[in-house]
Amino acid sequence: MKTVEHLFEVTGLTIDEIAERAGLTVERVAAIAEGRWTPSPHERERIATAFGVPLAEVSFGHTMNPRNIRYGRHGLKENF
């Protein structure tokens, strides 16, 4: 299985190209590629088709730790 981010690296396609092929917004495709958004089943099919690979070969889902994002953006405010 390959992540969407890996498929971008392997194919050399851009987010704009995949967004156009999949009929999705650039922002949504970027969020999916970065692991910030878990796509719906319909979006998964569209992304896989846009890359020209079977859906079963693509791994989707969150890959970023939300806690780290929060602390990275706002600083650690809790007193431990």
pLDDT of 60: 86
Structure tokens at 2: 């390959």
Position 14 pLDDT exceeds 90: yes
Task: Provide the pLDDT for residue 36.
Answer: 85
Residue 74 pLDDT exceeds 90:
no
Residue-wise pLDDT for 29-44, tens only, equals: 999 988 888 899 999 9
Closest of 12, 18, 66 to residue 43, by C-alpha = 18
Cα 50 to the center of its chain, rounded Å: 13
Q: What's the pLDDT band for 56 if we cut at 50, 70, 90?
A: very high
CATH superfamily of 2-74: lambda repressor-like DNA-binding domains (1.10.260.40)
- Please give the C-alpha separations between residue 16 and each of 13, 20, 47, 67, 68, in angstroms, as whole numbers: 8, 6, 12, 29, 28
